[in-house]
Amino acid sequence: MENKQVKHGKFNKFNQIFGKLALDITKLTFGSLVLGTILKGDLPQSTLLVFGVIVSVVGTIIGVTLLLISEEK
């Protein structure tokens, strides 16, 4: 019984750390792609803007989901 709790605890900690990492990557992606596209204009703005928004939304969903899973258990 105790062995399952240790494995579950490690998985819970992994979800928490990976969730925070996903949110940090999302912030960096948003800052570099979306805001960089608005300020600079070297590459096609619409492509970078759409890609940055998609990555930001997906990363936020993954990060928040993993953090919620780790806090529930």
CA triple 35-50-32, angle to 5 deg: 25
pLDDT band at 57 (very low <50, low <70, confident <90, very high): confident
pTM to 2 decimal places:
0.57
How many C-beta atoms lie closer than 10 Å to residue 37's C-beta? 20
The backbone torsions φ and ψ at residue 43, rounded to the nearest 5 degrees and listed phi first, read -100, 165
- State residue 10's pLDDT score: 72
pLDDT band at 1 (very low <50, low <70, confident <90, very high): very low
- Region 7-25: mean pLDDT is 79
CA distance 43 to 22: 25
CA nearest 27: which of 1, 2, 3, 63?
63
